[in-house]
Amino acid sequence: MKKKDRKKFKRQDISISNADISGIDDFIDEEVIHEKKADKKLLKKGLKSQKSDLKLLSGRVVEIYSNYKCLVESENTRLICPVSGRLKHLQHNTRNIVAVGDWVKIDTSVENRIEEICERKNTLVRYTEDSFQKGILIAANIDNVIIMTSYHNPELNFGLVDRLICAARLDDIVPVICINKIDLAESIAEIEKEAEFYRQTGIEIVLCSALDGRGKAELKAILKDKDTVFVGHSGVGKSSLINQLQPGLNLKVSSTSEVTGKGMHTTTRSKIFSWEFGGNMIDTPGIKTLTLHEESRNEIKYVFPGMAEMGDKCQFQNCTHTHEKDCAVKNAVENGEYDQERYNSYLRIMDSFTGVIYE
Ligand SMILES: Nc1nc2c(ncn2[C@@H]2O[C@H](COP(=O)(O)OP(=O)(O)OP(=O)(O)O)[C@@H](O)[C@H]2O)c(=O)[nH]1
Ligand SMILES: [Mg+2]
Ligand SMILES: [Zn+2]
């Protein structure tokens, strides 16, 4: 029996056998949730090949060429690998099938085809803005995300920083903020003031300059023996900072626009490199913005910097800290105990889910 028919049959069955149908909606909802879970399971299962005669070699995706072809490093060799037809035809809930950082198994007997994608420890994902909200994988299996912004050219922008913090924490990735180009600031005190909010909420923040090397030692200690992805707007200096940390890499960099101060989207593909001091790093192309998934709206208050600590003091347990009365967060903003700018940034994220503008 087809899935669609099975569902129809179950609904009829309930209405006949149960005189009391008050709970029918709950039942059907449970069915749908159950089926959604089953679909996910199917996808997970599908990522593993069922064939028994394969000569599989393990490796890690270090660069993506297209949705169906990538570069895999295995036993110190780099192989160009197409994605198997079976994986292509699975129903993926993300636009890209493989991500940089994925661990895969390749079949060496047939043109080094990727036959399996191993279960991911975590993923950093952004979503399309349309109503389907398909995920776009930025990286997989990482420990830290270095969220980069620059003091000037382009201007400091903590809106994207806040969204990236949420995206990282939603999948247990540690966010670290990096304010680059501090050599362009007349006084560090001004930036320190901005940084203090994040420090107080327990997020590590490094002030650095890819030009004069400030912050290098502090960053190395964070990056050592970890897998880290560098993310931020174009032109903030991601590739320059990586070059400063490991000069031999010679990653391509280019100057920002003289008119807008924005970057030129110099890095076009994400790539993994190994640090000489231990660990790996992924340089990524600049992003303009980051959309979170509608389904995560109830979790934002737990991952947004400094908010989880205050939430249990609100009158309502399910307070969203947007419009409710006796809200501890809103009170803290009014009393000057929580930064107004960051609260506005939180409201902008919540607006993006509901379309309602909170004042
Ligand atoms: N003054 C100053 N300029 C910097 C610093 N870091 C980077 N730059 C300059 O900023 C420009 C952009 O640097 P990139 O490293 O290409 O920036 P990116 O973030 O990799 O940009 P995309 O690859 O486009 O995402 C270059 O002209 C760099 O020389 C810094 O610490 N201080
Ligand atoms: Mg770059
Ligand atoms: Zn509240």
Here the CATH number for the domain that contains residue 177 is 3.40.50.300
Given pLDDT bands bounded at 50, 70 and 90, which one contains residue 91?
confident
Residue 86 has pLDDT above 70, yes or no: yes
Between the CA of 241 and the centroid of ligand 1 the distance, in Å, is 8
Residue 227 has pLDDT above 90, yes or no: yes
Per cent of the chain over pLDDT 90 is: 72
Q: Give me the pLDDT at residue 47, please.
A: 63
Residue nearest to atom 11 of ligand 1 (CA): 255
Residue nearest to atom 12 of ligand 1 (CA): 235
Q: Give me the pLDDT at residue 26, please.
A: 37
In this structure, the answer to whether residues 74 and 164 fall within a common structural domain is no
Q: Give me the pLDDT at residue 359, please.
A: 54
Tell me which residue of 166, 291, 170, 153 sits closest to 233, measured CA to CA. 153
Atom of ligand 1 nearest to the CA of 255: 27
Domain boundary among 259, 283, 307: 283
In this structure, the answer to whether residues 243 and 304 fall within a common structural domain is no
Between the CA of 94 and the centroid of ligand 2 the distance, in Å, is 24
Q: Give me the pLDDT at residue 42, please.
A: 44
Which range marks the domain in which residue 98 is found?
A: 56-119
Please tell me the distance from the alpha carbon of residue 86 to that of residue 94, in angstroms, as a whole number.
16
Per cent of the chain over pLDDT 70 is: 84
Q: pTM of the full predicted structure? A: 0.86
Residue nearest to atom 13 of ligand 1 (CA): 237
Atom of ligand 1 nearest to the CA of 252: 16
Between the CA of 229 and the centroid of ligand 1 the distance, in Å, is 17
Quick count: other Cβ atoms within 10 Å of Cβ 191? 16
In this structure, the answer to whether residues 308 and 188 fall within a common structural domain is no
Quick count: other Cβ atoms within 10 Å of Cβ 256? 21
The per-residue pLDDT for range 27-52, each reduced to its tens digit, is 333 333 344 444 444 455 556 666 66
**Which of 157, 188, 253 maximizes ligand 1 atoms within 8 Å of its Cβ, making it the mutation to test the pocket?**
253
Between the CA of 157 and the centroid of ligand 2 the distance, in Å, is 17
Q: Which residues line ligand 1 (CB under 6 A)?
A: 180-181, 183-184, 209-211, 234-240, 253-256, 263-267, 285-286
- Report yes or no on 312 lying in a domain: yes
Given pLDDT bands bounded at 50, 70 and 90, which one contains residue 355?
low
Ligand nearest to the CA of 326: 3
In this structure, the answer to whether residues 147 and 71 fall within a common structural domain is no
Q: Give me the pLDDT at residue 25, please.
A: 35
User: CA distances (Å), 211 to each of 101, 232, 276, in order?
Assistant: 29, 18, 20
User: CA distances (Å), 108 to each of 82, 86, 90, 219, in order?
Assistant: 11, 16, 22, 39
Domain boundary among 255, 283, 311: 283
Residue 119 has pLDDT above 50, yes or no: yes
